[in-house]
């Protein structure tokens, strides 16, 4: 179909911008994380929990991607961090070009970690490299058992799968073992971490991943 051909053309240009993004964050030693998930899987809540845990320890910033609104940026600004809100005005994913523009508005030398919260969507964002060092996909247990099979690209391109909202696990028919099996089938090298930002379960391991990745960078 015509759209697919166009997406490829856009992607080639996207790769050039992704390279520039990567050069910039590398230059300043900022670890860049791209967070991907369906709408409402808990990306912003994870960031809030991360900011709470690491306040005063690391300097963190965020780029918030949404079709419309600046609600997420305002949620994170309360933590006194650097935040840029990107509105895609209808487009279902961020592009590296958008990130490049957002970086101009950030003081990179004052950051250790920079999180990109992509548009809530399990399809389109998976095809766009934003120049990130690591890609983290969230999947809430309330989304059901079958999502890894149905939307494989968001999962096989991830460095880490965070299975979120595990405080609700007992209310669903989801089995963590089965999710793990589905995940490792498409992505044998990825990390797999069940987590609840609400109860704090899995948070130390999540922060551990971030610190380990940051060390790789140095």
Q: Summarize as ranges the residues that interact with a copy of itself (CB under 8 A).
A: 1-4, 6-7, 9-10, 38-40, 66-69, 71-72, 90-92, 119-124, 127, 140, 142-144, 146-147, 149-153, 165, 168, 171
**Helices 203-217 and 43-54: angle between axes, nearest 10 degrees:** 80
Closest alpha carbon to 155 in 179, 171, 131, 174: 179
CA distance linking residue 6 with residue 16, whole number of Å: 16
CB 211 to a copy of itself: min, Å:
28
Nearer to a copy of itself, 69 or 204 (CB): 69
| Closest listed residue to residue 73, CA positions, set 64, 82, 81 | 64
Distance CA 106, CA 166 (A): 34
Residue ranges of the alpha helices (H) in the chain?
Answer: 2-28, 43-54, 71-77, 96-104, 147-150, 152-156, 176-186, 203-217
Nearer to a copy of itself, 82 or 121 (CB): 121
**Separation CA 86–CA 9 (nearest Å):** 23
Nearer to a copy of itself, 40 or 191 (CB): 40
CB of 133 to a copy of itself, least distance (A): 25
Q: Which is nearer to a copy of itself, 152 or 191 (CB)?
A: 152
| Closest CB 68 distance from a copy of itself, rounded Å | 6
Nearest approach in angstroms of CB 87 to a copy of itself is 10
The CB-of-179 to a copy of itself minimum distance in angstroms stands at 12
User: Which residue, 186 or 217, is less far from a copy of itself as judged by CB?
Assistant: 186
């Amino acid at each position: 179909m015509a759209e697919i051909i166009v997406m490829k053309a856009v992607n080639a240009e996207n790769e050039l911008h992704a390279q520039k993004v990567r050069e910039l964050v590398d230059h300043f030693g900022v670890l860049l994380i791209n967070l991907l998930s369906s709408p409402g899987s808990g990306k912003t809540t994870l960031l809030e929990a991360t900011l709470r845990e690491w306040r005063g320890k690391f300097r963190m910033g965020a780029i918030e991607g949404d079709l419309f609104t600046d609600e997420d940026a305002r949620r994170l600004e309360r933590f006194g961090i650097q935040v840029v809100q990107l509105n895609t005005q209808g487009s279902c994913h961020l592009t590296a070009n958008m990130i490049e523009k957002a970086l101009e508005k950030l003081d990179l030398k004052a950051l250790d970690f920079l999180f990109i919260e992509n548009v809530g969507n399990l399809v389109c964002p998976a095809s766009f490299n934003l120049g990130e060092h690591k890609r983290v996909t969230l999947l809430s247990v309330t989304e059901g058992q079958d999502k890894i099979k149905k939307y494989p690209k968001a999962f096989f391109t991830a460095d880490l799968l965070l299975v979120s909202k595990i405080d609700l696990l007992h209310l669903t028919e989801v089995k963590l073992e089965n999710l793990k099996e589905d995940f490792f089938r498409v992505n044998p090298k990825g990390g797999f971490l069940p987590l609840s930002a609400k109860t704090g379960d899995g948070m130390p391991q999540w922060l551990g991943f971030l610190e380990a990745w940051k060390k790789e960078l140095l």
